[in-house]
Amino acid sequence: MSKFRIPALVLMLGWSVNSALAETPQAILQSYSAQAGSPAVPQRGRELFTTRHGREWSCSTCHGAIPIQPGKHAATGKTISPLAPAFEARRFSDAARVEKWFGRNCNDVLGRPCSASEKADVMSWLISLKP
């Protein structure tokens, strides 16, 4: 085998493995539901998303009440791509990134980390939004 074929084969295998490991919103939702020990409730997710919880902002402050269009960060003015996965394919495709943003945003909105049940509820509502 030529020395050029081996790196090409390794690259192709790497791409295949990465494609196989791509996470889906449904898989991340299932993980949160399993952690919560109960199924997600989309209506609770919508309520959590659109309601202020004693803090300055709700999720909808930046993302919009129905986050199917770009939003705008309340403090920085930075444009935020749509949050519902049907309107932005990259949303909820990386569990570590999802966890990072839940960590930041739950603290801003709730003043504490979200529970697995709250994350599952919000994700289930966002996944239910279709074009």
- Domain containing 100 equals 5-128
> For residue 69, what are its two tokens?
């269009």
Number of domains in the chain: 1
Task: Give me the CATH number covering residue 55.
Answer: 1.10.760.10
Residue pointed to by tokens 């309520």: 47
Indicate if the pLDDT at residue 114 is higher than 80. yes
List pLDDT tens digits, range 30-55: 999 999 999 999 999 999 999 999 88
Indicate if the pLDDT at residue 95 is higher than 80. yes
List pLDDT tens digits, range 2-17: 555 544 444 444 443 4
What pTM was estimated for this model as a whole?
0.82
Average pLDDT on 48-73 reads: 94
CA distance readout (Å), 44 to 9, 19, 47, 88, 109: 48, 33, 5, 22, 15
